[in-house]
Amino acid sequence: MNSNLLNMALQLSVQDMFSSSWFSSALMNKVWMETMRSSVNGLIRKTGGADMLGAALGGSLRGDAAMLRQASANVSEARSMMHMAATAVGDIAGLLEEARTLAQDFLALGPGDQGNSAIQAQYRTQYEAISKNINSIIQNTRYNGIALLDGNAWSADERLSIMGDPASPAAASVHIQAGDSGFPLTFNNMSPQFLDILDKYSPDTPSATLADLTSLQRSAQTLAELYAGRAGSLQSQAASLQSQATILEEAAAQRAKTPAPVSTENLLLNLILRDSGGLFSGKG
């Protein structure tokens, strides 16, 4: 049986017999192809031929395992980027809570105390310090030079795809390669609303400032939670890709040391029992 005919037979067999979605993943198709090729190799060995298909398959499985491990590393890096953004935005939310409390305390003062120049000066100094800290977080939160929060720095970075008006982008994404495909990792531009709150939300009008800061703090907290959730999801995906790579490496090792054909039922049963609930396509 020549290799072209074998590949065509295997493809038709997979498409015809295992067209359900459960077998549509690349991993399950590889396992089924490994089983069929193992049976073909058994016929070759009975005639005294070398196990050339097995050697080729083992190399293919190891190559796929290496690809999955690289994809896992890339997804882990994406997780680190998202985790950094989540932490930074969470810190901004905390600073905005401090600013909101400051404005609330200032409003609670009596009318006579509000006119006290010393109290006003102290309030402005503290508010200015908070504004500078927020600016610093936005401008300095970078991963390998990629600005995660500051849209003002995006136009010069070719690694980013800008969404919206380039002069004032709403968001930007960086492409994360995962195997033979990939996915965008998106970050919101925090500069328009959160940069320079000292100028945008003047402490000289504490009643208006309090309402603005309350809205800003809630927005930042929500964004931080979204980023944290995405980071957790990426961590799970990276672990799943690592698990798939391990399975393929074990299959390659088993294929190299096991001369006898492995039955379809036993191979699939062992895989299911060992990794129940752990199969993951690795896309997106």
* Tens digit of each residue's pLDDT (9 = 90 or more) over 49-64: 445 445 555 667 778 7
pLDDT given for residue 270 in this prediction: 61
Q: What is the reported pLDDT for 263?
A: 56
pLDDT of residue 183: 87
Burial 251-264 (b: 16+ CB within 10 A, else e): bbebbbeeeebbee
User: Which of these, 217, 249, 6, 187, lies nearest to 97 by C-alpha position?
Assistant: 217
> Cβ(151)–Cβ(189) under 8 Å?
yes
Judge whether 220 and 194 are in contact, CB under 8 Å: yes
Whole-number pLDDT of residue 259: 53
What's the pLDDT at 274? 54
**Structure confidence at residue 69 (pLDDT):** 87
Residue 276 pLDDT > 50: no
Q: List pLDDT tens digits, range 113-168.
A: 655 677 778 888 999 999 999 999 999 999 999 999 999 999 989 999 998 888 88
pLDDT at 57: 55
Tell me the CA distances in angstroms from 65 to 30, 151, 241, 242, 277, one per residue in order. Answer: 12, 37, 9, 9, 19
Range name among 155-159, 163-167, 183-187, 208-212 with the lowest pLDDT average: 163-167
Indicate the angle between helix axes 26-46 and 206-257, nearest 10 degrees: 10
Where do the domains of the chain lie? 3-71+243-274, 87-237
Three-state secondary-structure class, residue 77? helix
Helices and strands, counts by H and E, the chain: 9, 5
189 φ/ψ sector (left φ>0, alpha ψ -120 to 50, else beta): beta
Average pLDDT, the chain: 75
Q: Tell me the C-alpha distance between 178 and 98, whole Å.
A: 41
Q: How many CB atoms lie within 10 A of CB 66?
A: 13
- Rounded-to-integer distance, Cα 110 and Cα 116, Å: 10
pLDDT digit string (tens) for 66-85? 888 888 899 899 999 999 99
Report pLDDT for 54.
Answer: 52
Architecture label for domain 87-237: Up-down Bundle (1.20)
The pair phi, psi for residue 209, each rounded to 5°, is -60, -40
What are the distances in angstroms from CA 96 to CA 85, 108, 151, 152, 207? 16, 18, 20, 21, 15
The better pLDDT of the pair 3, 215 is held by: 215
pLDDT band at 172 (very low <50, low <70, confident <90, very high): very high
- Of 3 and 233, the one with more pLDDT: 233
Helix (H) or strand (E) holding 15: helix 3-17
- At residue 265, the pLDDT reads 53
Residues 14-42 have pLDDT tens digits of: 333 332 232 334 444 455 455 545 544 54
Q: Which residue has the higher pLDDT, 180 or 13?
A: 180
